[in-house]
Amino acid sequence: MESNTTKFKVRLGLFISGGLIILVVAIFIIGRQKNLFVPVYELTTTFYNVSGLQVGNNIRFSGINVGTVDNIKIINDSTVQVDMLIQKNVQKFIKSDCEAAIGSAGLIGDRILIITQGSSNAGSAKDGQQIASKEPVEPDAIMASLQVTADNAAIISFQLASIMTKVNSGSGTLGRFIQDSTIAENINQTIVNLKKSSKGLDENMNAAKENFLFRGYFKRKFKAAEKIKLDSVGKKVEKQKEIEKKKK
Quick: pLDDT tens for 152-171: 888 888 878 777 776 666 66
- Give the residue-averaged pLDDT of 111-136: 89
Question: Which residues have CB under 8 Å from 142's CB, separation 6+?
Answer: none
Task: Report whether pLDDT(179) > 80.
Answer: no
Task: Report whether pLDDT(52) > 60.
Answer: yes
What pTM was estimated for this model as a whole?
0.48
- Bridge partners, residue 46, by sequence: 81
- Give the residue-averaged pLDDT of 70-84: 92
Question: Cβ distance 179 to 170 under 8 Å?
Answer: yes
Pick the more confident residue, 44 or 136.
44
- Give the residue-averaged pLDDT of 2-8: 65
Task: Report whether pLDDT(3) > 70.
Answer: no
- Give the residue-averaged pLDDT of 107-132: 87
DSSP 129: -
pLDDT digit string (tens) for 198-246? 765 665 566 555 555 555 655 666 677 777 776 776 667 677 767 776 6
Task: Report whether pLDDT(62) > 80.
Answer: yes
Measure the CA–CA gap between 221 and 104, rounded to whole angstroms. 78
pLDDT digit string (tens) for 191-201? 877 777 676 56
Residue 9 has what pLDDT?
64
Question: Which residues have CB under 8 Å from 42's CB, separation 6+?
Answer: 70, 83, 84, 85, 86, 127, 128
DSSP 116: P
